Structure 1
Amino acid sequence: MTAIQCRYTGDLHCTAQHGPSGSVLNTDAPTDHDGLGESFSPTDLLATALGTCLLTIMGITARRRGWDLADASVIVEKTMTSEGPRRIQRLEAQITLPVSLSQEQKALLKRVANDCPVKRNLDSSMTIDLIWSDASPTAD
């Protein structure tokens, strides 16, 4: 069990402290919901959880096999509902893998990404699209 201590600090700002490490992050309400957008919103953190979970689960798989996953990246675009109760309608994760990986390696990483714990917990509550591409090779 992991404890995260959350505290309201006023003006729609909160802090959260990760119990085991002591790391702290701040949140603010988004500008379209009475906030100043000075930091991650709570729903931004949910989108962040998806992106970092995808990278982490692929990273575990790559590390166990001795593959280099350096420079893999995910950009998550969050779309909120425009009507009814405010909630996340859709998360689109644009995943970029290193070009050095084989097609078989990429296929395995795609399979494990679809089973990341965050995605599994969110799948039925919203649309989640994973869009895959290869990193552009850098010129030397």
Structure 2
Amino acid sequence: MTQINSSYSGDLRCASLHAPSGSALETDAPSDNQGKGERFSPTDLVATALSTCILTIMGIVAERHDWDLKGCTARVEKVMTSEAPRKIAQLEVWIELPAHLDEKARKVLRKAAENCPVKLSLEGAMAMQLHWS
């Protein structure tokens, strides 16, 4: 179990503290939903959780095989519904693996990414697509 403590700061902002590490972050409502859009929005954090989970899980697998994953990137795009209720409609992730990895490594890393805990948790709740290069 991990504890995260959040509080409402006013002006559609929240502050959260990751209890085990003491790391803090702030959220802001997006500019298209009455906020200033000066911080990650809560739904931005969902998108960020997907892309960073993919990178982290691939990193775990890469370390296990002694593959250098430095420079691997993931870009996520979040699309919100246009009708009520407001929610995430789609997440698309573009993953760029380092050029030096062979096809076997790429296949293993793709499988790992498809099974990251965040992706598995979100499946069925919204459309998701991973693009590889």
Q: What letter is aligned with 2:58? A: M
Q: What letter is aligned with 1:86? A: R
SS at match of 2:105: helix
For residue 51 of structure 1, report the CA deviation from its aligned partner.
0.4
Alignment partners' CA distance in 2, 1:85 and 1:10: 23
Matches within 5 A, 1:42-121: 42-121=42-121
Sequence identity (%): 54
For residue 84 of structure 1, report the CA deviation from its aligned partner.
2.2
Alignment partners' CA distance in 2, 1:84 and 1:9: 26
Alignment partners' CA distance in 1, 2:2 and 2:18: 8
Q: CA RMSD in A?
A: 0.4
Alignment partners' CA distance in 1, 2:122 and 2:13: 25
SS at match of 2:84: coil
SS at match of 1:125: coil
Partner residue in 2 for 1:28? 28
For residue 123 of structure 1, report the CA deviation from its aligned partner.
0.9
- Consecutive unaligned residues in structure 2, runs of 5 or more: none
Task: Provide the aligned length of Structure 1 versus Structure 2.
Answer: 133
Alignment partners' CA distance in 2, 1:96 and 1:123: 22
Normalising by the residue count of structure 1, what TM-score does the alignment of the two structures yield? 0.94
Normalising by the residue count of structure 2, what TM-score does the alignment of the two structures yield? 0.99
Alignment partners' CA distance in 1, 2:74 and 2:16: 24
Runs of 4+ aligned structure 1 residues displaced above 4 Å come to none
Alignment partners' CA distance in 2, 1:91 and 1:13: 24
SS at match of 1:52: helix
Q: Deviations over 1:56-92 (max 9, x none)?
A: 0000000011000001010000000001210000000
